[in-house]
Amino acid sequence: MVPHEKLQAEQAWEQPTAPAPVQRRTSVTAKRVFGTIALVALAWMYWHHPTPRFHACHSWLNELRDQVRWDAPECRIRGQSHDAACRTTYEQRNRAYEEAFLAEPKADEARAALQRYTAQHHIAGEKADYISTLRLIEEWSELLGMPRVRNASELIFDAGSSESREWLLQREPRSQKHAHPRVWADTYSIWLDQPVNSSLSLSSDGKEAWVANLAEDVLEEDESSAYGMPPFHGYSFSGRASGELVYVGDGHKADYELLESHGIDFHGKIVLVRYGGLFRGLKVRAAQEAGAVGVLIYSDLKEDDTVTEENGYKAYPDGPARQPSAVQRGSVQALSFYPGDPGTPGEPSYRNATRLPVDEADTLPKIPSLPISYTNAKRLLESLRGHGTPITKVGSHLPGAIPGVEYWTGPSKEVAHMENQMDLKTRDIWNVYAVIPGYVDDQRVVLGNHRDAWTFGGVDPSSGTAVFHEVVKGFGALLSQGWKPMRTIVIASWDAEEYGLVGSTEFGEDYPEHILHNVAAYLNLDMAVGGSELSGSASPSLAGLLHDAGASVADPDRDGVLTFGEVDALGSGSDFTVFLQRIGIASADVSFRRKHGDAVYHYHSNFDSFHWVEKFGDPGFKRHEALAKVFGLMALRTAQSPFLPIDVVAYANELEDYLAKVRKVADGRNADGLDAVADAIDHVVHRAKQLEKHIARVGRRFRHLLAKEHGQRPSDELREAMRDVRHANLKLKAFESGFIDERGLPERTWYRHIGVAPGRWLGYGATTFPGLTETYTIDGGKHAAFEIERLLDALHRIAEGLRW
């Protein structure tokens, strides 16, 4: 493979300089005569020859028309091709393509792909990450039927280079009947840190009382566990801290305020918090704002429901309960303030990018943190016993569930000492892309899954990458049958998602105008298979797409078809964030997630491995196969439908629920303004229903004209109907972006969607009407009038956009 020394190398080339043209003496009059004749000739050809004027629309229009079944011998007989039995409709061909696609995903091939992808840890920016880039370029090229890639490194370009932009933005002529896919990778240069040294200990009266073993166990049954990375927090502060210990539940900002009201002072303390409730980066930020000098975060058994050793289950690898030494790694960047490279907020991180000074990067913490196991946390909690107040007297939600532990607030008598030394520097990352050109290029469908992992990534994210393998294989099978999608499909393997959604965010910051004007929908896979319950989150307009796709695939675990439960709003925590919440592209994310009774998933630990997936996560890999079918159908139906599957009526109706939540937290404040918002929502609902009826009429007329006309040149009526179809799709696509406000949200202007965003102090979870909601829940209502006014402006803009 390519030597590590070449990772930073840039390829340069020069085009030969053309010789200066020889000047010819030609009179001005002759030039004008020749020019006039040429223009007249070109104009005559344009208006009298059908191909230049109409061929661009003919190719995709002919795809929609009935076609002769030339594969049937009886239909090749002169005169028989007009029989109904010898003709296929667009809907019939689409169903045939779907059936052909559904035959491709295979459980055993998904298993083999996952085994390849989890063979070594592949943290963003390291050599194994680069090797995975080369492998994916080769695999996707082969799966899509492209010529064999001899040197994949030649298909890696610097982001921002002319080659990079050309490979993404180039458009095939619509007249080209067959799609010619292309695969390549872009390099961004971003801040990344990796661990150098860490330690944790307790002292009593100046003497060392206990030293933590921060490493995870090596398990004979799980061979990869011997080769994992040490536990650490991405983007964590490099330094040492000492102080008395205080327990703060799950570390929410409100928990600090509650404990302070009970006399607990956090200044100079090291706080112990458990995972859950909110994003870990906000746990560190809340501790920092409270005056703490360090943070220890552990996985409490409260997360594990009833699947614990105390309830008779054996611990991994012998059973489904949590392995006692397991540690959850993860980023501690303040994701809900802005994601991406902390040094280049709002701008793409090219190799020569101007970066903030490290101490001015707002999303980076200013105090050290360490992730630890519940075994180590148990010893720390024991040191708190009898000190401070029993935590149950402060709040019933604060205790954990480690057997034999009494949860007290502290501060402890023993002093905690922690060290976290990190190496932060600019490193390369690589996004891999595949483009399958379609007839319509300005309504692209983007499919995304990240590739990097904190360790081996058995579930996060390599189960998604294995599902993508099967989806891309299915597309390749369709291409071999002559399929060309109605809309261009872009497939992306993002890098450095784990550090802070970096690869996808840099792409979004690199191409915001292109995405806004040329992307119709973004479909995401992350932790594809971590349990047995099919789950989805999406823009309300895409919920129907998820339900319909699930209903078309057999349930791998029981009789019947797959069903999604309630499709939730999207917060953050994966690569849809920049598409939805900065640019305004309808988005969706699907997975099989853990439900009650499922094996404990060892999130971001060395035990997130192929062995865990094969033994507990998805024995037989039937869920991988099923999700590949669901996700592939979602992509095909978005790419192939004459009308985008964006349900604006469903979205408009959902806005009423958003407002109901605001009224609850407003508690009677600004009632008149909220009534005006309710009226504006009613207007949006009315306009959405009108548009839905109009689209139905357009669709009927379009299908009627298609069935009536078979000539090469479409009639004026059909061209008008084609324009109406395009007009409708532009309106459907624009609904989501109507919520984008360039001024951004309070205290986090990177986020621009005023319909939904990650909660400012949640990180993952979605907050609907975030500006308005958080003015009541966080800011005391002081911005309510402003937030109501701009929400009204957005709703009026959306309603006007729905007008035909």
Q: Among all residues, which ones are annotated catalytic?
A: 497
Q: Alpha-carbon distance 188 to 495, whole Å?
A: 9
297 with 370: CB under 8 angstroms?
yes
The residue to which tokens 């040094």 are assigned: 343
Q: Alpha-carbon distance 478 to 93, whole Å?
A: 11
H/E/C letters for each residue in 623-687? HHHHHHHHHHHHHHHHHHCCCCCCCHHHHHHHHHHHHHHHHHHHCCCCHHHHHHHHHHHHHHHHH
**Of 518, 494, 516, 517, residue with least CA distance to 506:** 494
Does 461 sit behind a cis peptide bond, omega within 30 degrees of 0 on the bond before it?
yes
Give the Å distances, CA to CA, from 667 to 358, 682, 773, 781: 42, 22, 11, 11
**Of 75, 67, 98, 30, residue with least CA distance to 551:** 98
625 with 467: CB under 8 angstroms?
no
Does 746 sit behind a cis peptide bond, omega within 30 degrees of 0 on the bond before it?
no
| Degrees, nearest 5: CA angle 675-585-579 | 115
| Tokens describing residue 598 | 């499922």
| Tokens describing residue 51 | 């191909």
Task: Count other Cβ atoms within 10 Å, centred on residue 788.
Answer: 22
Q: Alpha-carbon distance 391 to 321, whole Å?
A: 26
Backbone torsions φ then ψ of 12, nearest 5 degrees: -125, 145
The residue to which tokens 């010789």 are assigned: 19
243 with 200: CB under 8 angstroms?
no
| Tokens describing residue 259 | 């404990």
Question: What is the sign, positive or negative, of the torsion defined by CA atoms of 402, 405, 411, 412?
Answer: negative
Q: Alpha-carbon distance 639 to 436, whole Å?
A: 11
The CB-side HSE value for 496 (13 A sphere, CA atoms) comes to 34
**Of 179, 180, 176, residue with least CA distance to 59:** 176
Q: Alpha-carbon distance 780 to 785, whole Å?
A: 12
The CB-side HSE value for 692 (13 A sphere, CA atoms) comes to 15
H/E/C letters for each residue in 430-468? EEEEEEECCCEEEEEEEEEEECCCCCCCCCCCHHHHHHH
Residues in contact with 170: Cβ distance below 8 Å, sequence separation at least 6, in sequence order: none
Q: Alpha-carbon distance 195 to 193, whole Å?
A: 7
Polymer length in residues for the chain: 804
Residues in contact with 709: Cβ distance below 8 Å, sequence separation at least 6, in sequence order: 65, 715, 718
12-30 b/e with 16+ CB inside 10 Å = b? eeeeeeeeeeeeeeeeeee
| Helix/strand/coil for 192 | strand
- The H or E element spanning position 349 is none
| Tokens describing residue 182 | 């292309």
Q: Alpha-carbon distance 255 to 427, whole Å?
A: 37
Q: Alpha-carbon distance 21 to 31, whole Å?
A: 17
Task: Count other Cβ atoms within 10 Å, centred on residue 77.
Answer: 11
Q: Which residues pair with 195 in a beta bridge?
A: 422
**How buried is residue 612: exposed, middle or buried, by Cβ count under 10 Å (0-12/13-18/19+)?**
buried
| Tokens describing residue 115 | 């085994």
